[in-house]
DNA sequence: ATTATTTGTAGAACTTGTTCTATAAGTTTA
DNA sequence: TAAACTTATAGAACAAGTTCTACAAATAAT
């Protein structure tokens, strides 16, 4: 039966409704394709071991970066597979990481139907899809050559203070333990936020947890 | 044209793919119905003011400050409307609160297609849908009432505010969006911290992220 | 039915955090 | 090597956040 499939797709997402929505679009684009709807990682692996897949549309539900390493795992089984990340999380923080890890595209769930179709077609035809937003981001990274791991931009002192902030210490705590003025701590905080392009502690914590164990 | 609609539905969700998936299912159940796909709260209100709606399938994760109190707001416009909450958040924390607030059902996005159809049909026919899980939950709460997920200790308002804090909003942001005094926000923050036994935002974020998707 | 507790809310006084500006020392770069 | 950033640091004025107290309404407990 697989021989009647023009393409083999996997749609992996824990939400049924999303799987079905994506399946519907895939069938619209390629009527004679087979779509495997899967809800978790082990199902994906099982399927990859039995069926050559052209495109995997992959939801990433965990913002902590654990799903990053599933990409090489998948590619080890099927090196030519195209992976389109379909994510509810903000492009700005994650997209480039996933593309570097070997994904063929990163698509926001906020995208309208045309964009979704475009992404799928692009990945199938040219092997990649990069949204306007991400293109700009990459330009930034290349032209201003920011390091891949944004934490590397921080000076030693800045990292020291960022870490304390992330661990929950107040400015006053920090200024006491480091014996500096509170205004100094604030200045650091500002510089850290600026360098990492965030504007609240919550985002700092996210970035920190995301990148702390990653080599650039 | 509205007179040819057997039912009028609204599907409100910020993700296109979800709106379309739900629309597809609704059309499958009631071929001759009209479905309005809307992406934010103000669109919902606008539509409610012009069209009598039988069922609103409402995602509660969208970013424009949607919360519990939109349910009474909606019901004030159309008292007989049925609201089915279709949520990516864990039932255990939110379901009962939304049902108490006047929703007719609470459906997890993890549900399979049959469950989704069942929920929609139940709400349309009998005016309510309560999943096995939630039924058990209610039993537990009524009969055995064991405290499991610490987030359950928080009141509705406390959860609302905790969520905003976790997402990185400042006290001032919160007091502006909720139209309360900044001292009030601080009071909440304190109570939240006390109940969850933490003393800084960082820990709150950790607890929140740890428990938000966990069943008890 | 009465009492106790929780919930939602603030005012005023106070503490903490931010901004804006600035400076000396260290590092790059043209 | 001089000019140009970067880094580590504050003072002062101002903004944001906290504390402590309080009170009415809703809930729960006795």
A49 burial via Cβ count (<10 Å: 0-12, 13-18, 19+): exposed
pLDDT band at A215 (very low <50, low <70, confident <90, very high): very low
Alpha helices in B37-181 (DSSP H): 41-48, 70-77, 91-101, 113-126, 132-139, 156-166, 171-178
Residue with tokens 């994510």: A87
Nearest CA in chain A to B167: A202
What number of other Cβ atoms are within 10 A of residue A17's Cβ?
Answer: 27
Q: Return the higher-pLDDT residue of B64 and A189.
A: A189
Note the strand C nucleotides within 7 A of protein beta carbons: 6-13, 16-22
CA distances from B53 to A147, A160, B2, B32 (A): 52, 56, 11, 14
Average pLDDT of the segment spanning A155-178: 90
Q: Which structure tokens are listed for B88?
A: 């990516």
Q: What is the pLDDT along chain B (216 residues), one digit of tens a residue?
A: 445 789 999 999 989 999 999 999 999 999 999 999 999 888 999 999 999 999 999 998 755 555 677 888 888 899 899 999 998 876 666 787 788 788 898 898 888 899 999 999 999 998 889 887 777 766 665 555 555 678 888 888 898 899 899 989 999 989 888 888 989 999 999 999 988 888 899 989 988 877 765 543
Nearest to A137 by CA among A125, A122, A124, A148: A148
Least confident of A47-51, A184-188, A190-194, B144-148: B144-148
Q: Which structure tokens are listed for A128?
A: 């990649």
Q: Yes or no: say if B166 and B208 are a contact pair by the CB < 8 Å rule.
A: yes
- Cβ of residue A157 lies below 7 Å from strand D: yes
Residue with tokens 């702390």: A212
Distance CA A37, CA A20 (A): 8
**Domains in chain B and their CATH numbers?**
2-140 (3.40.50.2300), 150-211 (1.10.10.10)
A166 touches chain B (CB under 8 A): yes
Does this model's pTM top 0.85? My answer is no
Distance CA A34, CA A13 (A): 17
Q: A201 to chain B: which residues are within 8 Å by CB?
A: 168, 201-202
Per-residue pLDDT tens over the stretch A32-79 = 999 999 988 889 999 999 999 999 999 987 544 455 678 888 999 999
Quick check: A109 and B200 CB within 8 A? no
Q: In the 8-state DSSP scheme, what is residue A103?
A: -
Distance CA B176, CA B183 (A): 12
Q: Yes or no: say if A105 and A128 are a contact pair by the CB < 8 Å rule.
A: yes
Residue with tokens 């965990």: A62
DSSP assignment of A131-176 equals: -HHHHHHHHHHHHS---SSGGGGS-HHHHHHHHHHHTT--HHHHHH
Distance CA A160, CA A155 (A): 9
**CB neighbours of A129 closer than 8 A, spacing ≥ 6?**
A84, A104, A105, A106, A107, A118, A119, A120, A122, A123
**CB neighbours of B162 closer than 8 A, spacing ≥ 6?**
B151, B154, B192, B204, B208
Per-residue pLDDT tens over the stretch A80-128 = 999 999 988 766 566 777 887 888 998 888 888 999 999 999 999 988 8
B49 touches chain A (CB under 8 A): no
- Stated as kind and residue range, the H or E segment containing B37 is strand B34-38
Q: Yes or no: say if A44 and A12 are a contact pair by the CB < 8 Å rule.
A: yes
């Amino acid at each position: 039966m697989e021989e009647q499939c023009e393409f083999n797709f996997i749609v992996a997402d824990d939400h049924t409704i999303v799987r079905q929505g994506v399946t519907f679009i895939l069938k619209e684009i390629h009527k004679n394709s087979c779509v495997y709807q899967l809800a978790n990682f082990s199902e994906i692996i099982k399927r990859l071991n039995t069926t050559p897949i052209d495109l995997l549309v992959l939801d990433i539900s965990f913002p902590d970066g654990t799903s990053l390493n599933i990409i090489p795992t998948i590619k080890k089984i099927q090196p030519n597979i195209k992976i389109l990340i379909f994510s509810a999380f903000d492009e700005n923080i994650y997209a480039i990481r996933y593309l570097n890890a070997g994904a063929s595209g990163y698509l926001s769930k906020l995208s309208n139907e045309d964009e979704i179709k475009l992404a799928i077609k692009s990945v199938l035809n040219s092997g990649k899809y990069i949204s306007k937003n991400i293109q700009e981001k990459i330009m930034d990274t290349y032209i201003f050559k920011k390091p891949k791991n944004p934490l590397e931009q921080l000076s030693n002192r800045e990292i020291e203070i960022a870490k304390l902030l992330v661990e929950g210490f107040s400015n006053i705590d920090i200024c006491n333990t480091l014996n500096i003025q509170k205004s100094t701590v604030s200045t650091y905080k500002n510089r850290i936020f600026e360098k990492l392009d965030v504007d609240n502690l919550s985002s700092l914590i996210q970035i920190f947890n995301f990148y702390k164990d990653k080599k650039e």
